[in-house]
Amino acid sequence: MERVRITVMRMACYRDLMERYENPLEHPCDMAVGQVFVTDGWRRPADFCESAWESLAPFVLALAHGGGDFYGGWMKDRRSAMVSCNDGFRPVSFLLEAIPPEDPA
C-alpha cells in the first residue's frame, strides 16, 4: 500500500456568505497554504481536519491502493487528484499525490 502526500494548495474565504449564514466560530480551520501531510496508506494523518478528510478519503484510498486516472483523465498526473474540502464558507483545495514506495517523501 502506498502513502499519499496531501498538500494544501489554496484557501478561499467567502466573508459575505459567512456574515449572512454562519454562526461565529472560534476556531474554524488550522490549514495553511503549503502545509504537507503524508498518510500511512489510506489512514487519516492524526492532525488532519476530520471534515476535510471526509471529502478526500475516497481519493486517498484509491491512490493508496494503486488506483488513479480519476474521471477518465481529469489530472495530468494520473496518480494524483485536486480535491477541495466541503466547507462552503472557507473551502481548502488539496493536491493528493501517490508516493512511490522508493520515495522517502
Per-residue pLDDT of the chain (105 residues; tens, 9 = 90+): 899 999 999 999 999 999 999 998 877 788 999 999 999 888 999 899 999 999 999 999 999 999 999 998 899 999 999 999 999 999 999 999 999 877 665
Place of cell 456568505: 17
Q: What is the pLDDT of residue 105?
A: 58
Q: Percentages helix, strand, coil for the chain, rounded to the nearest 5?
A: 20, 25, 55
Q: What is the pTM of this model?
A: 0.90
- Joined grid coordinates for residue 31: 490549514
CA distance linking residue 74 with residue 92, whole number of Å: 19
What are the extents of the domains in the chain?
3-99
- Joined grid coordinates for residue 74: 481529469
Q: What is the pLDDT of residue 56?
A: 97
The SS3 of residue 101 is coil
